[in-house]
Amino acid sequence: MTDHNRPFSDDERAGLYRAIYERRDVRSQFLPDPIPYPVLARLLKAAHHAPSVGFMQPWDFVLIDSLEVRQQVLASFHEENAKAAHNYTGERQQTYRNLKLQGIIESPLNLCITCDRSRGGDHVLGRNSIVEMDLFSTCLAVQNFWLAARAEGIGVGWVSILDQDKLADILHLPGHVYPLAYLCVGYVSEFLDQPELETKGWRSRLPLESLIHHNTWSEALDDQALLDQFEK
Amino acid sequence: MTDHNRPFSDDERAGLYRAIYERRDVRSQFLPDPIPYPVLARLLKAAHHAPSVGFMQPWDFVLIDSLEVRQQVLASFHEENAKAAHNYTGERQQTYRNLKLQGIIESPLNLCITCDRSRGGDHVLGRNSIVEMDLFSTCLAVQNFWLAARAEGIGVGWVSILDQDKLADILHLPGHVYPLAYLCVGYVSEFLDQPELETKGWRSRLPLESLIHHNTWSEALDDQALLDQFEK
């Protein structure tokens, strides 16, 4: 049994769970401090070691520090956000308008993780039946990056209120490359204890037991012994 | 500064990186041992703590242990896989046919992580501009599950060679629920040192430096100091 097959120590396992539970979608707490290269390299390598369909590795990483590029992205955000606000009325709209939804300029680094839909040719193993598997793989790289960042004390916020066509134009992406995730990245003054959308009353965390099914959708899990564990 | 803001210890950080680097897409090494409830609950809770657009939490978890259901899923795999094999010729087809691509029956638990596209109503915060954000969020839950499983010594294999419409039928999913990820889950005899598709010569890992761009796609990163870090 080689070394990588030894069980995780308690601290190692706790580290993984800390990253998962204490990760936040950061909007407001960014500090301007630059990210040292050895740390940034660890985050990018973590992303690059995500699983991908047929080992396709469809991702690329556009590191953005240019203020000019970020201002163009911010303009697209403002345009899309103004449209989105009209979907809500009354108090809900007021809450929406008060939410801080991006840290494009405040964070020292923006990162676009893209998906090259042509990589690996016409027949990528495992991508024939579900053609979106390349996009899904790229998401897994995003999550690796996000968790590694948390373990390094670095916050990440995914900005999804953007026009993807405009974003592709701003970043000069070729037609076969999709700008999957636009991330703001930087050290933070603090990680919030709970998701901001929860503390600000936007939505609550769903009870996990309501999301569990057994063998088919219509069959609830009637095994109380497992459900009881969710409280722990 | 509350406790969750203390820096990660070296062991905690190492644990996160171990999970990322030593995670495998498992096909062949499953053991029949059942997963104890406290462990399974930790994996599901980890998935449920993924980020989601507008705190939408679009995922559900269908736990599948019924042999009958798994046999139906396996039949869909065989059908899709036979079609896929025809995309390759000669030696490449032979390699493809020799690959073990699922562990549906050998693993003690199958798990379908679904995406409820209607959850949270018509206007989920952050999902107006990019309507696929709910699918992407569900992928992040998959990766949390996968990494937590690795830290618990449990292997996961994502089976994407399936007809999603048939899978939805087999699992009795309502029309607004998409079967995003079909996972085989179980303890393993060993975690392989490298991805199987790499050791079997299907594809190689891309050099990370070839995937880095600066500010726009067309601009390569000319900062050797960062690129050098990728070798470490």
The answer to whether B113 and B47 have CB atoms below 8 angstroms apart is yes
Task: Return d(Cα A206, Cα A209) in angstroms, integer.
Answer: 9
* pLDDT at residue A2 tops 80: no
Q: What gap in Å lies between CA B40 and CA A209, rounded to an integer?
A: 13
B70: nearest CA partner in chain A? A215
What distance in Å separates the CA atoms of residue A18 and residue A37, rounded to the nearest whole number? Answer: 24
Bridge partners for B177 per DSSP: B116
The CA angle B162-B164-B169, to the nearest 5 degrees, is 110
CA–CA distance, B140 with A151 (Å, rounded to integer): 17
**A70 touches B at CB < 8 Å:** no
| Residue B163 predicted with pLDDT over 90 | yes
Question: Over the stretch B116-131, which tens digit does the pLDDT of each residue have?
Answer: 999 999 889 988 889 9
Residue A1 has pLDDT above 60, yes or no: no
Give tens-digit pLDDT for A130-140: 999 999 999 99
pLDDT for residue A10: 97
Q: Which residue of A has its CA nearest to B197?
A: A55
Whether residue B215 and residue A62 make contact (CB cut-off 8 A), yes or no, is yes
Count of helices and strands (H, E) across chain A: 8, 6
**Interface touch A180/B136, C-beta < 8 Å:** yes
Q: What is the CA radius of gyration of chain A?
A: 20
pLDDT mean across residues, chain B: 95
Q: Residue B172 pLDDT > 90, yes or no?
A: yes
Angstrom CA distances, B72 to B29, B107, B133, B159, stand at 22, 15, 30, 14
| Long-range contacts (CB closer than 8 Å, 24 or more residues apart) made by B174-177 | B174/A217, B176/B116, B176/B117, B176/B118, B177/A217, B177/B60, B177/B114, B177/B115, B177/B116, B177/B117
Contacts of B214 in chain A (CB under 8 A): 62-64
Q: Is some CB atom of chain B closer than 8 A to the CB atom of A82?
A: no
| A 122-181 residues with CB < 8 A to B | 122-123, 125-130, 132-133, 135-136, 139-140, 142-144, 146-148, 151-153, 158, 160-164, 170-174, 177, 180-181
pLDDT band at B2 (very low <50, low <70, confident <90, very high): low
Listed residue (B148, B66, B37, B58) closest to A227, CA to CA:
B37
- Angstrom CA distances, A212 to A165, A198, A215, B137, B221, stand at 37, 22, 10, 18, 46
For residue A123, what pLDDT is reported?
87
What pLDDT, on the 0 to 100 scale, is given for residue B1? 46
Query: Can you tell me which residue has the tokens 């040719």?
Result: A121
Distance CA A137, CA B203 (A): 16
* Option in A41, A61, A129 nearest B213 (CB): A61
A54, B203 in Cβ contact below 8 A?
yes
pLDDT band of A129, cuts 50, 70, 90: confident
Q: Which residue's structure tokens are 């095994």?
A: A223
**Residue listed under structure tokens 């989105």:** A84
Under DSSP, the state recorded for B131 is: T
Q: Two tokens at B135?
A: 């699918």
Rounded to the nearest angstrom, the minimum Cα separation between B33 and chain A is 16
| pLDDT value of residue B220 | 87
**Average pLDDT in the A201-223 region?**
93
Which residues does residue B111 pair with via DSSP β-bridges, in sequence order? Answer: B63, B183
Q: 3-state class of A116 per DSSP?
A: strand
Listed in sequence order, the residues at least 6 apart from B112 whose beta carbon sits closer than 8 Å to its beta carbon are: B61, B62, B64, B167, B171, B179, B181, B182, B183
**Domains in chain A, start-ordered, CATH in brackets?**
16-204 (3.40.109.10)
For A1, A2, A53, A120, A225, the CA distances from B193, given in Å and listed in that order, are 11, 8, 18, 23, 36
Residues in B touching A192 (Cβ below 8 Å): none
Contact A138, A181 (CB under 8 A): yes
Q: Do A126 and A54 form a contact (C-beta atoms < 8 A)? A: yes
* Residue A133 one-letter amino acid: M
Q: Which chain A residues are Cβ-neighbours of B13 within 8 angstroms?
A: 15, 151-152
Residue A115, pLDDT score: 98
Cα separation, A194 vs A208, in Å, equals: 17
Q: Does B44 touch chain A (CB under 8 A)?
A: yes
The Cα diameter of chain B in Å comes to 62
